[in-house]
Amino acid sequence: MKKITLSILVLFCVTMLQAQTAREEFVLEKNWKFSKGDYPDAVQNNFDDKSWQSVTVPHDWAIYGPFDRKHDLQEVAVTQNGETKATIKTGRTGGLPYVGIGWYRNTFTVNHFKKGEKRVSLLFDGAMSESKVYVNGKEACFWPLGYNSFHCDVTDFLNTDGKDNILAVRLENKPQSSRWYPGAGLYRNVHIIVTDEVHVPVWGTHITTPFVSEEYASVKLRTEIENSDNNEIRIVTEILDADNKVVATKDNTLKINHGKPFEQNFIVNNPNLWSPETPYLYKAVSNVYIKDKKVDQYTTRFGIRDIKLIADKGFFLNGKKRKFQGVCNHHDLGPLGAAINVAALRRQLTMLKDMGCDAIRTAHNMPAPELVELCDEMGFMMMIEPFDEWDIAKCKNGYHRFFNEWAEKDMVNMIRNYRNNASVVMWSIGNEVPTQCSPEGYKVASFLQDICHREDPSRPVTCGMDQVTCVLNNGFAAMLDVPGFNYRVHRYEEAYNKLPQNLVLGAETSSTVSSRGIYKFPVEKKANAIYDDHQSSSYDFEYCDWSNLPDDDFALADDHDWTMGQFVWTGFDYLGEPSPYDTDAWPNHSSMFGIIDLASIPKDRYYLYRSIWNKNDNTLHILPHWNWKGREGQITPVFVYTNYPSAELFINGKSYGKQTKNNSSLQSRYRLMWMDTVYEPGEVKVIAYDAQGKAVEEEIIRTAGKPHHIELVADRTELSADGKDLAYINVRVVDKDGNLCPDDQRLIKFAVTGEGIYRASANGDPTSLDMFHLPQMPAFNGQLTSIVQSNEKEGELIFEATAKGLKSSKITIKAIK
């Protein structure tokens, strides 16, 4: 194993460094060794790991497959879905081999390390799961929950004088421990933090903005200092704006008494307030001195913003009422699995932003820090949630095994990690926990809510509740800051009237199901619709029996002041939970709830949300596609998702009349629908009219001819040559005129040359068992997505796609330093 040298600095530099920064942080990414299986001897320094696989971290050991129904075959009754009898469930966790034990090993050196002078901590952003961390043969920390960040001080286990330290991590995923694909392994970053003895501990600052106005804001910073031994501490903190201009400074000297944090208060005049539309960020840079020696420098990024709840009126940000236009997302990144990647997250958020989405609920667990930072920067409000299970089980080997001992520690880590992030506006303490119906359940909720209030009095607390009758009657809902309901839209009004908060949040909404590019006839609203091809219809009329269509949630937001908006289940399709095909319906293994599919291609529903949520751009989207060989002469309804109030539809020049949004049904309030259109090949044209009746925009789709060539559209033309950056390439089978061939399912092969690598592909088909990392994938309804990654060299990356019977295509992407 190659040795990692953390900081090679000549003595002079070290002296300078101590004078300047006194803190160093490194991410341990490269030269990891990994093996599945249990190797108790791997903790020993002399263990031979040569035969183990070399990997970089973040790493997800299960995403390379293969898919197999036996990986997560379960006989269970999913009580949350109203089931009372156990049945065979397949694909619940994605059918990937995440279960089992895996070991990782690496070496690190802390130069010039001397006991008594430096402290060294390891910080894991998340490790799936039940992590046992060993340094030089000694157990340094244990953390059961795979989603949470945790840290441990390993100073006492380190070798002195620059000798290699062996880090070994054992992870174990028990069968039946999850309701979705959790990923496996060191799927988030591992940091090494080197500080002086006297230092700001991990997550040791807490910033709040107790008063916010356009004229000025007050900023309160609390800083913890470790090992100060009751010495006098001087902290000089500068508040910097986004241009790094100092806007406030404080220089204070204090004793840290009885562990009480060091407090500094600032006024920032004419503050730039943070909001999804103006994600303005400040930094507090604190230099810590003890007897004139600088011992630490710590930077805390934050935003200035004000959040308020007003009974009967809803949620206010910076004094302005707004309703959450949010989505719930699981943590996996489709074909990349759970391994965190900033470019992949940025891509997701960019698509959601264009849809008009302004909020994310991290369902049902702690997010990666990179996601929270991107939400700060790109402008998304976050509701962060730790648990899907408290003390009562949903999964046989779920978190309930740890809840009593670990819940408080998990909450504390989560809150301290993210309490300074501007994007985080609310905590959720859990999702559909069975405890909500137990007579003592409110006590558990109150225990968790109190931890939130203690650690962070500035944010309200909610919980995703689905057992409406229980929680309205047993006091559970009444004790939360915000009653958050999952589905059950017909109970909102009752909840509003019965509960003292006089507010209702759609903590989880919709769960409409659809497969991109699939349309079923006749077009009917249906719960639990099942078809032989194991797909769901993209007319967006199908849902599960506990869920509903998007229109119900739009109406609740539009019609009542007291609704706080919603978090749609889900923004993106995810691995696992293939409802309505979860009962012995292999090969389904990924969700169909997403507004965007697993290949990160928008489904039609994307445009429905965009037409309501995106207030800056127009939307005019026609569905279905118009290649219906065999349906000639048959009724083939056409829907248009648009922000315009009305539109006229023409098929091959013949008008099918003008439709205007109206209140005759929830669907006709938000969609334009021509239910009697008859299929004939050719052209479907729609002309949109504004509120004044003026024709303002038109859109055309055409019947595609014979598949002719491959079209490649990359989301990026330039990548950073950092070995991590990604481009998503939309691979499309088109006819000679460039029309998408929407029923083409042929195999496409890929090759990457030049500076970069092929990373993965996905086609969004929830039944596809093709492995993501292999350089081939069948198109699903004419499309798929390939992901390429930069290496660390500048140059050109060339991606080529070929398929039998089609003209191939190439695309060049630049990688720059």
Catalytic residue ranges: 432, 508
Work out which of 544, 592, 701, 797 binds ligand GAL, going by CB under 6 A: 544
Q: Does the footprint of ligand GAL cover residue 196 (CB under 6 A)?
A: no
- Least Å distance, CB 185 to ligand GAL, is 23
Tokens 């990359």, residue located: 714
Site track for ligand GAL across 545-564, x = CB under 6 A: --x-----------------
Judge whether 508 and 492 are in contact, CB under 8 Å. no
Report the 10 Å Cβ neighbour count for 663: 8
CB 477 within 8 A of CB 464: no
Please count the residues of the chain: 817
The correct pick among 129, 155, 272, 486 for binding ligand GAL (CB under 6 A) is 486
Q: Is 431 in the site for ligand GAL (CB under 6 A)?
A: yes
Interaction between residue 569 and ligand GAL (CB under 6 A): yes
Size of the site for ligand GAL (CB under 6 A): 14
Residue nearer to ligand GAL on the CB measure, 228 or 579: 579
List 93, 511, 536, 590, residue binding ligand GAL (CB under 6 A): 511
């289940």: which residue's tokens?
569
Residue 790 half-sphere exposure, CB side, CA atoms within 13 Å? 25
Nearer to ligand GAL, 334 or 434 (CB): 434
Decide if residue 744 touches ligand GAL (CB under 6 A): no
The nearest distance, CB 511 to ligand GAL, in angstroms, is: 4
- CB of residue 80 to ligand GAL, shortest distance in Å: 5
Considering the complex, what minimum distance in angstroms separates the CB of residue 593 from ligand GAL? Answer: 6
Residues paired with residue 50 on neighbouring β-strands, in sequence order: none
Task: Kindly tell me which of 431 and 768 has the beta carbon lying closer to ligand GAL.
Answer: 431
Q: How far apart are CA 661 and CA 139, in angstroms?
A: 64
Q: Which tokens in the block code for residue 813?
A: 């992407």
Check residue 466 for interaction with ligand GAL (CB under 6 A): yes
CA distance 351 to 336: 17
Smallest Cα–Cα separation from 247: which of 212, 216, 289? 216
Out of 5, 80, 159, 458, point to the residue binding ligand GAL (CB under 6 A): 80
Identify the residue among 226, 577, 755, 765 touching ligand GAL (CB under 6 A): 577
CB-closest chain residue to ligand GAL: 511
Contacts to ligand GAL from residues 650-689, by CB under 6 A: none
- Per the CB < 8 A criterion, the answer to whether 454 and 434 are in contact is no
Nearer to ligand GAL, 207 or 544 (CB): 544
Nearest distance, CB of residue 551 and ligand GAL, angstroms: 17
How many helical (H) and strand (E) elements, i.e. helices and strands, does the chain have? 10, 48
> CA nearest 690: which of 665, 661, 719, 720?
661
Tell me how far, at minimum, the Cβ of 293 lies from ligand GAL, in Å: 52
* 3-class state of residue 494 by DSSP: helix
The rounded distance, in Å, linking the Cα atoms of 436 and 50 is 50
Q: Which is nearer to ligand GAL, 363 or 479 (CB)?
A: 363
> What CA–CA distance (Å, rounded) separates 293 from 272?
34
Residues 591-650 that bind ligand GAL (CB under 6 A): 593
Taking the complex as a whole, the smallest distance from the CB of residue 733 to ligand GAL amounts, in Å, to 32
Q: Which is nearer to ligand GAL, 165 or 329 (CB)?
A: 329
What is the DSSP code string of 271-335? --B--SSS---EEEEEEEEETTEEEEEEEEEE-B--EEEETTTEEEETTEE--EEEEEE-S--GG
Least CB distance to ligand GAL at residue 198 (A): 45
Cβ proximity to ligand GAL, 466 vs 711, nearer residue: 466
The CA distance from 248 to 270, in Å, is 12
When binding is defined by CB under 6 A, the residue of 238, 508, 582, 715 that contacts ligand GAL is: 508
**What binding mask, one character per residue, do residues 694-733 give for ligand GAL by CB under 6 A, x or -?**
----------------------------------------
Over the window 358 to 397, marking each residue x when it contacts ligand GAL by CB under 6 A and - when it does not, the resulting string is -----xx---------------------------------
Provide the angle, in degrees to the nearest 10, between the axes of the packed helices 604-613 and 342-355: 60
The per-residue b/e assignment along 770-785, b for 16 or more CB within 10 angstroms, e otherwise, is bbbeeebbbbbbbbbb
Instruction: Return phi, psi of residue 85, to 5°.
Output: -110, 140
On whether the CB atoms of residues 702 and 682 are closer than 8 A, the answer is yes
Closer residue to ligand GAL, CB minimum distance, 330 or 401: 330
- Site for ligand GAL contains 280 (CB under 6 A): no
* Residue 542, burial from CB neighbour count under 10 angstroms (0-12, 13-18, 19+): buried
Which CB atom, from 364 or from 459, has the smaller least distance to ligand GAL?
364
Residues that bind ligand GAL (CB under 6 A): 80, 363-364, 431-432, 466, 486, 508, 511, 544, 547, 569, 577, 593
